[in-house]
């Protein structure tokens, strides 16, 4: 049996629409999410948070109307280890100690057996502050009137800076036929997973700390708890419960809430459950980084890009958290899928006194792809060229080099994707028809396009540093188990990894299950982020499977044409010899991968997923609402492991992208989100999503599982620019900021003093 063929004809399990592993439990309502779990003697925890964006804590008063002796109260003084959340740097306190740097910053924790008494108790803690001037925007941070972070560094208020150079930009301006400038901005975005953040913790002197909760990255939480509690590895145990959506929002935040629940558990000496309600989750947890990107581009008379100067600024919030890596991905996606000989990108992540921004599907890429794909539209207008044609002329091809000097070694089929997108959406015919009909219709329709790539896996040397370990074992009950720390939160990890294992081992999908997501039982296959699970972790499972078959052939005489029965019989022979049946593989970088972190040159990503998206919109010039009426997606993500799940990823990502563009606005006052309710933070509903058409081209990637590349983040990158390009096509109006709400459209029309009836495309 071949186990690693990239030839689809030889596959049985990979590429088929297998039913989601944990699907039956979910549709039966039996899947256990963290709030569904109860322990005897369990109490409930809550958080007292800062009400000001920046200041010193002078005193904490406990209102006497509350019977405080019934409560357990934890402050920074109760932390046995380091008072910080272990992320890339260690600047974020676990609990504020003497000073606060953003609204909703945790200051103290309380627990009580009756959760209904907690809100009143939280409200009965009064904190006196000496307020300090707050920095609430990128511009205020840039002005450096207040230094709120890194006062002792050469770049105060800056979490991270990248400068990326290719060719010589300065010499290119003089030869340009045209120089086009533009500024683009994107707002914060809330993940709005339907299950809020939540965690249960318990402590015992023998076992140390155990937490159960909703999370993406068990070993991130593990590492953080070790630091906060000053405990060795084996005294911290992290168990993932069924997780009701994450999208990056449960990448870093669970380390905080797990630490909090565990601090209460340590002091109360009993299990503690902490579940945020929607208002607290919206106000206190991470969001997508707001951004501002400036472009200055030189083009020749034929529309060829001669030079690109790009300046990126992101708002990182009060602590550095993941801002540097988000900025890295933003930087590496800023030029779009285009080739240009001269490039200079300068990017910075700025500190502000707002809740730290964090990981969200796309991780910086949606921000800068929005900018470049709007900017291409402006360049097309400036040179008088069809925006589709302008893109085609500048597409990357095999053998071209990117901004980091990475040579495109794998096939790049952007032309093919574009052709297919134009054909399936009937682009030109529709554009013509809309233009004709708009002249007499108060509802203006338009069509727009976006082309983009998304790098799969960690950036640069990231995967080598992660050094992931994953594999399979065989239980006494005759089941193959997948051993990974990669988690399921809706995207299909369980299913695709089981498919890969079944394919590699030549057994059926039903013979494979997932090992429990428990740090005591699983190897560290890295975090479940960065579109790395299919490609990187899946490949480790494939290799482990192949390795196990090899061992069984050598040690247990497994024949070449083995049956399922032969396989499990051979496993038992191996178990008799070795005591276990287990096969693990460690990450090995594909050959020819070179990356220089200082100059930011080399192979930024081992592989890229590519896409062309087409949006159609209807803009009502009476109500000023913009609606997406049809959406076509064409993408190349390597091998599609499970067509149902893959299409589901694209559709879900597009819907979130539509929300990002047209609906979802995080409204801040003093850095506090004041529309922190689902009533006021609006995501697309069943009535707002258009038909979403999904098409895949498949070019197997030699170093991904059965040829797979990353898929999860890609679909969030394209919708926003495609939609605003379509709105420009519909109305003739160019908008450069998202979210674009009806009031923004109204303001634009009103500012011209125009009667909307007279506006034609």
Partner 1 sequence: MSDCRIQLTINGQQTSVEAPPMKRLLDVLREDLDLTGTKEGCGEGECGSCSVRMNGELVNSCMVPILQAHGAHIETVESLAIDAELHPLQKAFLECGGAQCGICTPGMLMAATHLIAHNPNPSLEQIREGLAGNLCRCTGFIKIFDSVITAAAMEGSRTHAR
The reply on whether position 674 binds partner 1 by CB under 8 A is no
> 278 vs 586, which CB is nearer to ligand FES?
278
Structure tokens at 453: 């790539």
Which residues in 481-520 contact partner 1 (CB under 8 A)? 489-492
Length of the chain: 761
The reply on whether position 279 binds ligand FES by CB under 6 A is no
The reply on whether position 245 binds ligand FES by CB under 6 A is yes
> 303 vs 490, which CB is nearer to ligand FES?
490
Q: Map residue 650 onto helix, strand or coil.
A: helix
CB of 645 to partner 1, least distance (A): 6
The reply on whether position 119 binds partner 1 by CB under 8 A is no
Nearest of 236, 213, 214 to residue 225 by alpha carbon: 236
> 477 vs 679, which CB is nearer to ligand FES?
679
Structure tokens at 41: 């003697």
Q: How far apart are CA 224 and CA 630, in angstroms?
A: 44
| CA angle, residues 636, 640, 645, in degrees to nearest 5 | 115
CB of 215 to ligand FES, least distance (A): 16
By CB under 8 A, which span of 14-22, 41-49, 123-131, 330-338 interacts with partner 1?
14-22
The reply on whether position 143 binds partner 1 by CB under 8 A is no
User: What residues have CB less than 8 Å from 375, skipping those under 6 apart?
Assistant: 180, 182, 184, 295, 297
Ramachandran region, residue 263 (left: φ > 0; alpha: ψ -120 to 50; beta: rest): alpha
> 245 vs 341, which CB is nearer to ligand FES?
245
The reply on whether position 123 binds ligand FES by CB under 6 A is no
Phi and psi at 68, nearest 5°, equal -60, -25
> 16 vs 461, which CB is nearer to partner 1?
16
Which residues in 263-282 contact partner 1 (CB under 8 A)? 277-278
The reply on whether position 27 binds partner 1 by CB under 8 A is yes
Which residues in 483-502 contact ligand FES (CB under 6 A)? 490
Q: Map residue 335 onto helix, strand or coil.
A: coil
CB of 122 to partner 1, least distance (A): 16
Structure tokens at 446: 């338009």
Strand order in the sheet with 291-299: 158-166, 342-351, 305-317, 291-299, 178-186, 737-738
> 194 vs 429, which CB is nearer to ligand FES?
194
> 168 vs 677, which CB is nearer to ligand FES?
677
The reply on whether position 242 binds partner 1 by CB under 8 A is yes
CB of 641 to partner 1, least distance (A): 13
Cis amide leading into 322 (omega within 30) = no
> 650 vs 745, which CB is nearer to ligand FES?
650
Nearest of 696, 596, 699 to residue 647 by alpha carbon: 696
Q: Which residues pair with 125 in a beta bridge?
A: 62
Q: How far apart are CA 171 and CA 735, in angstroms?
A: 31
> 193 vs 610, which CB is nearer to partner 1?
193
| CA angle, residues 662, 667, 670, in degrees to nearest 5 | 160
The reply on whether position 677 binds partner 1 by CB under 8 A is yes
- Binding-site member from 9, 151, 622, 686 for partner 1 (CB under 8 A): 686
The reply on whether position 290 binds ligand FES by CB under 6 A is no
Nearest of 448, 442, 582 to residue 515 by alpha carbon: 582
Q: How far is CA 265 from the centre of its chain?
A: 31
Q: How far apart are CA 203 and CA 210, in angstroms?
A: 6
Nearest of 402, 381, 380 to residue 391 by alpha carbon: 380
Q: Which does 29 bind (CB under 5 to 8 A by kind): ligand FES, partner 1, none?
A: partner 1
Which residues in 194-233 contact ligand FES (CB under 6 A)? 194
CB of 630 to partner 1, least distance (A): 13
By CB under 8 A, which span of 327-335, 397-405, 550-558, 686-694 interacts with partner 1?
686-694
Query: Using CB under 8 A as the criterion, which residues of the chain lie in contact with partner 1 when the complex forms?
Result: 17, 19-20, 22-33, 35-36, 191-196, 242-247, 277-278, 489-492, 644-645, 647-648, 651-656, 677-679, 683-687, 689, 691-692
Interface residues toward ligand FES, by CB under 6 A: 194, 245, 490
């Amino acid at each position: 049996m071949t186990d690693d063929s990239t030839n689809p004809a030889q596959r049985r399990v990979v590429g088929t629409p297998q039913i989601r592993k944990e699907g039956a439990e979910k549709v039966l309502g039996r899947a256990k999410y963290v709030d569904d779990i109860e322990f005897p003697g369990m109490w409930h925890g809550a958080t007292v948070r800062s009400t000001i964006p920046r200041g010193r804590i002078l005193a904490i008063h406990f209102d006497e109307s509350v019977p405080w002796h019934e409560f357990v109260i934890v402050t920074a003084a109760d932390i046995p280890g380091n008072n910080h959340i272990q992320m890339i740097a260690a600047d974020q306190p676990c609990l504020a100690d003497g000073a606060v740097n953003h609204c909703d910053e945790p200051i103290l924790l309380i627990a009580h057996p009756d959760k209904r008494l907690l809100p009143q108790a939280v409200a009965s803690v009064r904190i006196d502050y000496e307020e300090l001037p707050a920095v609430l925007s990128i511009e205020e941070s840039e002005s450096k009137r207040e230094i709120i972070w890194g006062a002792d560094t050469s770049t105060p208020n800056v979490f991270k800076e990248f400068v990326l150079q290719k060719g010589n930009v300065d010499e290119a301006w003089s030869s340009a036929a045209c120089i086009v400038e533009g500024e683009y901005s994107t707002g914060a975005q809330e993940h709005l997973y339907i299950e809020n953040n939540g965690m249960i913790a318990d402590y015992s002197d023998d076992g140390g700390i155990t937490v159960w909760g909703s999370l993406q990255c068990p070993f991130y939480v593990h590492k953080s708890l070790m630091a906060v509690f000053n405990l060795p590895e084996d005294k911290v145990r992290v168990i993932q419960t069924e997780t009701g959506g994450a999208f990056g929002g449960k990448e870093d935040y669970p380390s905080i809430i797990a630490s909090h629940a565990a601090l209460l558990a340590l002091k109360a000496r009993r299990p503690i459950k902490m579940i945020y309600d929607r208002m607290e989750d919206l106000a206190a947890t991470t969001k997508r980084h707001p951004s501002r990107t400036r472009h200055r581009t030189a083009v020749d008379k034929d529309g060829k890009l001669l030079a690109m100067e790009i300046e990126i600024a992101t708002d990182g919030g009060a602590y550095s958290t993941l801002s540097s890596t988000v900025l890295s991905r933003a930087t590496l996606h800023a030029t779009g899928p285009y080739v240009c000989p001269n490039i200079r990108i300068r990017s910075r992540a700025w500190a502000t006194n707002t809740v730290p921004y964090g990981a969200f599907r796309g991780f910086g890429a949606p921000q800068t792809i929005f900018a470049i794909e709007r900017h291409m539209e402006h360049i097309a207008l400036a040179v008088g060229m069809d925006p589709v044609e302008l893109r085609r002329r500048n597409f990357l091809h095999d053998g071209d080099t990117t901004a980091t000097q990475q040579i495109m070694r794998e096939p790049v089929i952007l032309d093919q994707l574009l052709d297919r997108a134009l054909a399936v959406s009937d682009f030109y015919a529709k554009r013509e028809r809309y233009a004709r009909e708009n002249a007499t219709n108060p509802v203006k329709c338009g069509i727009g396009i976006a082309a983009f790539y998304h790098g799969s896996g960690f950036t640069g040397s990231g995967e080598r540093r992660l050094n992931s370990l994953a594999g399979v074992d065989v239980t006494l009950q005759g089941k193959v188990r997948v051993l990974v720390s990669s988690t399921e939160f809706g995207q299909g990890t369980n299913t695709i990894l089981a498919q890969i294992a079944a394919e590699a081992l030549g057994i059926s999908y039903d013979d494979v299950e997932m090992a429990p997501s428990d740090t005591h039982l699983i190897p560290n296959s890295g975090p479940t982020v960065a579109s790395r699970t299919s490609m990187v972790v899946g490949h480790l499972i494939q290799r482990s499977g192949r390795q196990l078959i090899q061992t069984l052939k050598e040690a247990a005489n497994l024949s070449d044409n083995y049956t399922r029965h032969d396989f499990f019989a051979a496993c038992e022979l191996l178990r008799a010899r070795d005591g276990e049946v287990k096969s693990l593989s460690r990450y090995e970088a594909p050959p020819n991968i070179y990356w220089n972190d200082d100059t930011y040159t080399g192979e930024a990503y081992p592989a890229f997923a590519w896409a062309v998206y087409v949006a159609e919109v209807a803009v009502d010039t009476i109500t000023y609402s913009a609606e997406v009426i049809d959406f076509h997606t064409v993408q190349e993500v390597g091998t599609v492991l499970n067509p149902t799940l893959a299409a589901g990823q694209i559709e879900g990502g597009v819907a979130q992208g539509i929300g990002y563009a047209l609906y979802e606005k995080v409204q801040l006052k003093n850095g506090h989100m004041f529309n922190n309710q689902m009533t006021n933070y609006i995501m697309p509903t069943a009535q707002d999503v258009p038909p979403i058409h999904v098409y895949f081209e498949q070019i197997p990637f030699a170093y991904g599982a059965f040829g797979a590349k990353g898929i999860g983040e890609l679909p969030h990158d394209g919708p926003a620019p495609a939609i605003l390009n379509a709105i420009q096509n519909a109305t003739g109006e160019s908008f450069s900021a998202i979210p674009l709400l009806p009031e923004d459209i109204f303001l634009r029309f009103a500012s011209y003093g125009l009667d909307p009836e007279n506006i034609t495309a």
